[in-house]
Chains A and B, each alone.
Chain A
């Protein structure tokens, strides 16, 4: 919402300086977005007259104009591309050296297609005073040539723009803003009564409203014998000062009412209207050429005003071109109506029209001002255009409901923690137009018709507090209370944190990727379900909720590879979606490694260089699981993973076949190809939700430590086994021999190659034997060793290496 200081002063008698008014506006909830002083920025732009406009010799679309700049010197030659450049036109000129705000350039002397141009004739957009760039500005014939444009157009008047919250439709007019400032003691509110204008004959045009839900009220009057031309200078300047283009008096009056009183109106040229008016839903196939010059196709969701020709106006949004008022209009129909806010908003969005009328009607205009607004507009028409008014036609019953609120004055203290004397509350409310009755603890407050946003006690508290001053609310310490100091994080939140830190300590870098990915990528990872497809994605490749973090991470890794960082280790811990119910949203920890980004370290190095492999991904997955508190002893590793992984170089981490915690391995070449990624790429995914909850212990004390008095013994065994034998099976076989005394089995060597059958490998294990009750004799230890060899041989078919 834009207005100028002088406009505000039409409604507020005040001596307060601009900055104080602006601060107050912000502090009462009408946030000042900007204050603009155009006079300064536009000083070099002057009013000039086009003496002649000839066709450019070398360009069809250009004209060579001789311009009288009014400085008494010779006419200036200007090459101009505007279609409306013509002899006699009064417009705005800028000499070389002028900064053109709308183009962000500084003008120089130029030669355009061989013809010198010493300046520019400007459009309103180039001066940034409106969006209008349909040609150079056209000023009235009597505009003083040579005078500064900004001064003449009263642009010296500071322009204030406030960022209006959607609840304050009453402040979409300057009058309402002045009322708020009055309430905040910034001056005296000028609020003249609006006198009804007596009609001299019945309005000959009847109005039928087919759907009162769409149009709760409709007022109409005819004014005969008007003379429509340019509006008076004061009105033109009002409109140009906020960036509106004056059209003619009748149209300008409607725009003035919109910005002055938050009351959009419409005027029809009565002679172009055939028969009576009907407010109805549009019919399929109907269309309207609107005042913006565009044709809109309509449907029954849209409310229109129609006559016997058909649709004449998009109700509450924009009028039609054919029934619009121009200089030839002699009889005018003035419409002031109420429209359904939701329908206006929907229609505006559907048709893509952002008009000043829509802006107000979708917020809900003051219903009680429908008829006074019509009276005020009639008065202006009579003053500017003459004519004889008809009587009003008013359709609809009561405009605006009475809202009476029982208001305990203690509510202000209860909700805001602010002491406001009751008499001050009453004064504030009265100045805002509320009527307060009663003197007890609970008063009755009547809400003014223009405050469509006020419904209950809390709203009244807000009115009092915002005018009294939010800054006066004393900051009050908020003790943390008696609650014991326990962890405020849920087990899942803790797992998430630990997973992140565990992976980062492994040299991986945390990424945050998009929750939505492309459909093909989603389908590769088991997603793409219809309930996870975004109906209105921001881009075609962000259409499906991710079933896995990996597509995002793979793309992220590829992005880094493309930027020249080919050794990358990225991870993410975040939400994935298996359905649209809350319980279908899971938290995954995933990571990818590419190039020389193994557990040995990043990049090539003299101390050892290794490309990341599937077991690095396994190590990552295990680090996450351990950090997140998974029961590591219970985890089973099964060969082969999800379908997006290499079948021979991947594994599944599970606790029994029913609870799969995650996968790791090398990504399947087909996955990489489908995602356009370079391989080989290692990846893991762990679903943190699948980790069984740990047992809650009663105390924080750790279990008693039992240290054995007897020294453990270590024995090494090397076995020749088939290549397909899993090291895990061999270890488990050894461990199973005597769980009590065998405390650890580690694989310390793996050998394949020379000296061994091509389809065999050598696996060497170190077994730690912990005597329990007494030192074990050599025979006893050898006996355990023999059982290990026998068991491994039985389970794996391996033989002890000689």
Chain B
């Protein structure tokens, strides 16, 4: 074996034995570096005769290429092994539990959600949303709504009053959202189509009554709307709100001072282990009152009852929310118990839409 062959063999052995990239680099420097063994051999070429140079040069360059190639191959192996070794040491515990996303733990109160649901439905039917103050006058809450003087609802029995003013008048907490209808009729010319959601107050407290509760009323005033339209709207609303294909409704005559004729509306349902199913069963559940706006109310609000006509309805938001979502005790709506709110509340991204379904 020639010296060159010996050298090449030795170098290749050194390369194969290099344990890491640093050792490999040392081999490279020792062979191909400025003062490396192969570089030294190449440097001798200049002193050789052309013939000798031709043969030796080819041999040395061949050895150089082999070494270079071996270096590259070994480097790749070592680099890959080094990366594997590093990665092997870089582990995390992927079973560490995450923190719940804020958007998953935050909650919208069922009342707010249902408020948006019913607004969505009525907006689609062309209704806008009117609101008014909670603290009202006796005139707007009672007189303009055709409550006779001395009507029991006007007394301390049902109504929260404030202390009389110097002129003897006294403000009260509205007992229904009908004063918003009055305000709407006084400020807007027919045709009128509004819903009036809001907080209302009555002196009452038990499992089905709280001193504050919420109502949504509807009002339509134009020249042709009648009980048939009213029935249709309420039927459509109930189907959309309760998200059922069919719902049986019973309209029966009743009495309210501010409507004539007046109707109460029941929906058919079946109670099953605390759940209520609509459109089946034997029970009739009263859910709202409605009727044609009383001519006295129209007159009191500056509308001629022989020219204009219309209807109104009112229902408890708390009540329909409880019915739809299976909440049993009205008082819990105002208890602010985070366990209850987390269970019955809605996630902030669950915005009711008609396209996406109100609650799905």
The answer to whether A560 touches B160 (Cβ under 8 A) is no
Query: What 0/1 pattern do residues 470 to 482 of A give for CB contact below 8 A with B?
Result: 1101111110110
The answer to whether A470 touches B252 (Cβ under 8 A) is yes
The answer to whether B150 touches A346 (Cβ under 8 A) is yes
Of A349, A497, A536, A601, which is in contact with the most chain B CB atoms at under 10 Å from its CB? Answer: A536
- In the complex, which residues of chain A have a beta carbon less than 8 angstroms from the beta carbon of B125? 478, 480
Chain A 539-582 residues near chain B, CB threshold 8 A: 542, 545, 552-553, 556, 559-560, 563, 565, 568, 570, 573-575, 577, 580-582
Query: Which one, B132, B135, B253, B255, contacts A465 given CB within 8 A?
Result: B253
The answer to whether A475 touches B309 (Cβ under 8 A) is no
Binds B, one of A112-120, A283-291, A409-417: A409-417
Query: What 0/1 pattern do residues 504 to 518 of A give for CB contact below 8 A with B?
Result: 111111111111100
Query: Which one, A414, A417, A504, contacts B108 given CB within 8 A?
Result: A504
A533: CB under 8 A from chain B?
yes
B263: CB under 8 A from chain A?
yes
Nearest chain B CB to A531 CB, angstrom units: 6
The answer to whether A512 touches B338 (Cβ under 8 A) is no
- In the complex, which residues of chain A have a beta carbon less than 8 angstroms from the beta carbon of B103? 504-505, 507
Chain B 253-273 residues near chain A, CB threshold 8 A: 253-255, 260-264
Of A458, A511, A533, which is in contact with the most chain B CB atoms at under 10 Å from its CB? Answer: A458
Question: How many Å lie between the Cα of A470 and that of B249 in the bound state?
Answer: 12
Question: How many Å lie between the Cα of A67 and that of B254 in the bound state?
Answer: 51
A26: CB under 8 A from chain B?
yes
The answer to whether A602 touches B348 (Cβ under 8 A) is no
Given known contacts A417-B229, A537-B160, A560-B336, A504 and B251 CB-to-CB distance under 8 angstroms: no
| B197 and chain A: residue at smallest CB distance | A493
Nearest chain B CB to A428 CB, angstrom units: 13
A31: CB under 8 A from chain B?
yes
B85: CB under 8 A from chain A?
no
Nearest chain B CB to A194 CB, angstrom units: 29
The answer to whether A414 touches B309 (Cβ under 8 A) is yes
Given known contacts A415-B261, A459-B260, A31 and B106 CB-to-CB distance under 8 angstroms: no
Given known contacts A462-B261, A570-B336, A607-B99, A512 and B126 CB-to-CB distance under 8 angstroms: no
Query: Which one, B235, B292, B335, B351, contacts A415 given CB within 8 A?
Result: B292
Nearest chain A CB to B58 CB, angstrom units: 53
Binds A, one of B6-14, B27-35, B71-79, B116-124: B116-124
Query: Which one, B102, B295, B337, contacts A458 given CB within 8 A?
Result: B295
Of A505, A530, A573, A582, which is in contact with the most chain B CB atoms at under 10 Å from its CB? Answer: A505
- In the complex, which residues of chain A have a beta carbon less than 8 angstroms from the beta carbon of B161? 534-536
Question: How many Å lie between the Cα of A466 and that of B155 in the bound state?
Answer: 30
- In the complex, which residues of chain A have a beta carbon less than 8 angstroms from the beta carbon of B100? 601-602
B149: CB under 8 A from chain A?
yes
Query: Which one, A345, A506, A531, A601, contacts B162 given CB within 8 A?
Result: A531
- In the complex, which residues of chain B have a beta carbon less than 8 angstroms from the beta carbon of A508? 106
A490: CB under 8 A from chain B?
yes
B17: CB under 8 A from chain A?
no
- In the complex, which residues of chain B have a beta carbon less than 8 angstroms from the beta carbon of A577? 134-135
The answer to whether A345 touches B152 (Cβ under 8 A) is yes
Nearest chain B CB to A1 CB, angstrom units: 14
Question: How many Å lie between the Cα of A510 and that of B235 in the bound state?
Answer: 31
Q: Interface size class for chain B?
A: 35 or more
Binds B, one of A101-109, A162-170, A377-385, A709-717: A162-170
The answer to whether A585 touches B135 (Cβ under 8 A) is yes
Query: What 0/1 pattern do residues 343 to 356 of A give for CB contact below 8 A with B?
Result: 00110010000000
SS of B interface (majority): mixed
Query: Which one, B211, B235, B255, contacts A168 given CB within 8 A?
Result: B255
- In the complex, which residues of chain A have a beta carbon less than 8 angstroms from the beta carbon of B295? 456-458
Query: What 0/1 pattern do residues 579 to 608 of A give for CB contact below 8 A with B?
Result: 011100100000000000000111001110
- In the complex, which residues of chain B have a beta carbon less than 8 angstroms from the beta carbon of A513? 334, 336
B199: CB under 8 A from chain A?
yes
B203: CB under 8 A from chain A?
yes
B322: CB under 8 A from chain A?
no
Nearest chain B CB to A101 CB, angstrom units: 22
The answer to whether A563 touches B337 (Cβ under 8 A) is yes
The answer to whether A488 touches B106 (Cβ under 8 A) is no
A483: CB under 8 A from chain B?
yes
Query: Which one, B193, B253, B335, B345, contacts A466 given CB within 8 A?
Result: B253
- In the complex, which residues of chain B have a beta carbon less than 8 angstroms from the beta carbon of A506? 102, 106
- In the complex, which residues of chain B have a beta carbon less than 8 angstroms from the beta carbon of A457? 295
The answer to whether B253 touches A511 (Cβ under 8 A) is no
Given known contacts A511-B336, A531-B162, A500 and B150 CB-to-CB distance under 8 angstroms: no
Binds A, one of B18-26, B48-56, B61-69, B220-228: B220-228
| A538 and chain B: residue at smallest CB distance | B211
B127: CB under 8 A from chain A?
yes
Tell me the number of A-to-B contacts counted with CB atoms below 8 Å. 254
- In the complex, which residues of chain B have a beta carbon less than 8 angstroms from the beta carbon of A417? 226-229
Query: Which one, B129, B163, B339, contacts A533 given CB within 8 A?
Result: B163
The answer to whether B99 touches A601 (Cβ under 8 A) is yes
The answer to whether B309 touches A534 (Cβ under 8 A) is no
Question: How many Å lie between the Cα of A568 and that of B337 in the bound state?
Answer: 10
- In the complex, which residues of chain A have a beta carbon less than 8 angstroms from the beta carbon of B342? 509
Question: How many Å lie between the Cα of A483 and that of B292 in the bound state?
Answer: 23
Given known contacts A507-B105, A512-B333, A465 and B261 CB-to-CB distance under 8 angstroms: yes
- In the complex, which residues of chain A have a beta carbon less than 8 angstroms from the beta carbon of B300? none
A461: CB under 8 A from chain B?
yes
Nearest chain B CB to A549 CB, angstrom units: 11
A443: CB under 8 A from chain B?
no
The answer to whether A509 touches B338 (Cβ under 8 A) is yes
A208: CB under 8 A from chain B?
no
A786: CB under 8 A from chain B?
no
A29: CB under 8 A from chain B?
yes
Question: How many Å lie between the Cα of A531 and that of B231 in the bound state?
Answer: 42
| B265 and chain A: residue at smallest CB distance | A470
A35: CB under 8 A from chain B?
no
B144: CB under 8 A from chain A?
no
Question: How many Å lie between the Cα of A552 and that of B336 in the bound state?
Answer: 9
| A416 and chain B: residue at smallest CB distance | B227
B246: CB under 8 A from chain A?
no
- In the complex, which residues of chain A have a beta carbon less than 8 angstroms from the beta carbon of B152? 166, 345, 349
Given known contacts A488-B123, A559-B336, A476 and B106 CB-to-CB distance under 8 angstroms: no
A341: CB under 8 A from chain B?
yes
B212: CB under 8 A from chain A?
yes
Question: How many Å lie between the Cα of A510 and that of B342 in the bound state?
Answer: 9
- In the complex, which residues of chain B have a beta carbon less than 8 angstroms from the beta carbon of A503? 106
- In the complex, which residues of chain A have a beta carbon less than 8 angstroms from the beta carbon of B319? none
Given known contacts A166-B255, A459-B260, A489-B129, A473 and B228 CB-to-CB distance under 8 angstroms: yes
Nearest chain B CB to A552 CB, angstrom units: 8
Nearest chain A CB to B134 CB, angstrom units: 6
Question: How many Å lie between the Cα of A345 and that of B349 in the bound state?
Answer: 52
Known: A416-B292, A580-B162, A605-B99; 10 extra A-B contacts, CB below 8 A, are A167-B255, A346-B150, A413-B226, A473-B228, A477-B229, A507-B106, A511-B109, A514-B211, A531-B171, A553-B336
Would you mind naming 28 contact pairs between A and B with Cβ atoms under 8 Å apart? Answer: A26-B252, A31-B264, A167-B255, A342-B150, A346-B150, A415-B292, A416-B227, A456-B295, A458-B260, A466-B261, A475-B228, A476-B228, A476-B232, A480-B124, A497-B112, A500-B348, A504-B103, A504-B108, A504-B348, A510-B341, A510-B345, A535-B170, A536-B156, A545-B134, A545-B135, A556-B336, A581-B135, A602-B99
The residues of B with any CB-CB pair to A shorter than 8 Å are 96, 99-100, 102-103, 105-109, 111-112, 116, 119, 122-129, 131-135, 149-150, 152, 155-157, 160-163, 165, 170-171, 173, 191, 193, 199, 201, 203, 205, 211-212, 220, 225-229, 231-233, 235, 250-255, 260-264, 292, 294-295, 305, 309, 333-339, 341-342, 345, 347-349, 351
